[in-house]
Amino acid sequence: GDLHGDLSKARRALALAGLVDPETLDWVGGETVAVQMGDILDRGDEEVAIFELLEKLKAQAKRAGGALHVLLGNHDVMNVDGDFRYVTRGAYEESARWAVAAGETPK
């Protein structure tokens, strides 16, 4: 938990847990069931990149007979509720780039 938009911290944590190859970031956890405890959002600039990595790993874990569950933390819920006081400028910019790539118009 508490990755807070820090992709390098997320990568290190997943590798230290034996869930990903530190070079390729592919699932190596086999049949392991892992739970990410939330707080992916706020305080860091790489929130979308973390979500993309976790989604990739969820699919790879499922194919390997394992699972990766991602829970919402209080900062994730705050964002859903429109409370952006901890969102960084970099996170806003990353989200805007992602929205444009997805064909959306950022607000």
Q: Which residues are catalytic?
A: 75
Are the C-beta atoms of residues 106 and 100 closer than 8 Å to each other? Answer: yes
Distance in Å from the first CA to the final CA of the chain: 29
Q: Cα(4)–Cα(69) distance, rounded to whole angstroms?
A: 17
